[in-house]
Amino acid sequence: MPEMNIVQAVNSALLEEMQRDDRVILLGEDIGKNGGVFRCTEGLFEEFGPDRVIDTPLAESGIIGASIGMAFYGLRPVPEIQFLDFIYPAFDQIVSEAAKFRYRSGGEYPCQITIRSPYGGGIKGGHYHSQSTETYFAHTPGLKVVIPSAPYDTKGLLLSSIRDPDPVLFLEPKRIYRAGREEVPEGEFTIPLGEAKVVREGADVSIFAYGAMISQCTGAAEQAEEVGISCEVVDLRTLVPLDIDAVLDSVRKTGRVVIVYEATKFLGYGAEIAAILAEKAIESLEAPILRVAGLDTPFPYTHENLYLPDAGRILDAVEKVYSF
């Protein structure tokens, strides 16, 4: 079984699905001969040609609009938005059109598209290449939001996303694109959407996170173990649909919660988890729910390391809820 990083896992998933299903079409800025800004589509133009790997103009509304039209005619487009920060010219097409067509057509037009985009900070990208605005889209009924944290999950979740009947926003944590490698199966291999994963078992504190924050959470859990605190780290993997049962099961075991995400704290995705726990698991809680998140400011260039949550900040929250 080959070892891959996240970039290679994305490429492997696209290659194998395009070989399996000739309805799968890729389109986006610089994804063809250039192989994409992060090289996720490298080699696919040579393999499948310009009719299936389409270099587009710098026009996100056109990329998504064309993808919606392709989906209505039975194709399976996988558009790439070069950075999540650039997706807003296509916001209306995504939340008002793609996410609504299955509902408004009574299921006749499911609009089966998978929008790939790198998101988040950690690469010194400054204001316009570092944002984590997944909650904008998680708020939209009819749209699924998937964020992997490791190569194995990346491939399995991406294949499931492409085959899903609903439009999917598949966000890739570019900070860890090449940060680590692990064994990833070749061939037929999927991970169901809507299933969280317990990355590390624990008994005292539940830590919920996704994407690049998982590695920071496991680091904090290792440090917490040194001082006698057992942390359970749960990778949500799919924000919509959320695996609520996995969240509740963990909290009913530990009674204490820390939620970690790198988006701005106010109204971030962690607020929804906190609300669900307040509604469904209040009797299990033994301490206030704490969020460790980005700051409520535009993403900074110079102070990127202060903005992003790290193992130290997470450990502080863990110790606070444990000693409450």
Enter the DSSP assignment of 4: E
Contact assessment for residue 121 and residue 262, using Cβ atoms and an 8 Å cutoff: yes
Instruction: Return the half-sphere exposure (C-beta side, CA atoms, 13 A cut-off) of residue 62.
Output: 9
Asked if residue 190 lies in contact with residue 153, where contact means CB atoms within 8 angstroms, the answer is no
Check if the beta carbon of residue 232 is closer than 8 Å to that of residue 253: yes
Query: SS3 string of 118-181?
Result: EECCCCCCCHHHCCCCHHHHHCCCCCEEECCCCHHHHHHHHHHHHHCCCCEEEEEEHHHCCCCC
Residue 87 near residue 60 (C-beta atoms within 8 A): yes
- Whether the Cβ atoms of residue 233 and residue 246 lie closer than 8 Å to each other: no
Catalytic residues: 129
Cα distances (angstroms) measured from residue 310 to each of 67, 114, 166, 262: 37, 30, 34, 9
